[in-house]
C-alpha cells in the first residue's frame, strides 16, 4: 500500500488533483455508459445452440467473423473495460492523496 501512495505522490501534485479527480470521474461515467450500450448491442452467445442437434448453418458472415459487427463490438467492450479499469486505478491513487 505504501508503494501506491508513493507513486501517487510522485505523479499527482495536490493542486492537480483538484481538477483531475472530477475529470477522471466524468470519464469513468461516460465510459461505463458506453460499455453498457455496446454490451446491449451484442447478440446473445447461445444463438448457435442448434449445432448440437446437427442443424449447423454455415454462412459467409460466420466465415468472416473477424470483420463483422459482433467482433467489433467485442473489441470495443474489451477496450472500454481496460480503459475504465485504468481510470479507476488513477482515481484511487488520487483519492489516497486527499
Which tens digits make up the pLDDT trace of 37-60? 999 988 776 655 555 555 555 566
The pTM assigned to this predicted structure is 0.64
The candidate with the shortest Cα–Cα distance to 36, out of 84, 69, 68, is: 84
Which stretches of 1-98 are DSSP H helices?
Answer: 2-11, 14-41, 60-63, 69-97
How many percent of the chain have pLDDT more than 90? 28
The CA distance from 25 to 86, in Å, is 12
Nine-digit cell string for 35:
460499455
Amino acid at each position: 500500500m505504501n508503494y501506491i501512495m508513493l507513486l501517487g505522490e510522485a505523479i499527482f501534485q495536490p493542486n492537480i488533483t483538484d481538477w483531475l479527480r472530477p475529470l477522471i470521474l466524468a470519464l469513468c461515467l461516460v465510459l461505463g455508459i458506453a460499455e453498457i450500450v455496446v454490451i446491449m448491442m451484442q447478440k446473445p452467445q447461445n444463438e448457435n445452440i442448434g449445432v448440437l442437434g446437427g442443424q449447423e448453418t454455415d454462412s459467409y458472415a460466420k466465415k468472416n467473423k473477424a470483420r463483422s459487427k459482433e467482433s467489433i463490438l467485442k473489441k470495443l467492450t474489451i477496450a472500454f473495460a481496460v480503459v475504465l479499469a485504468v481510470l479507476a486505478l488513477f482515481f484511487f491513487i488520487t483519492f489516497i492523496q486527499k
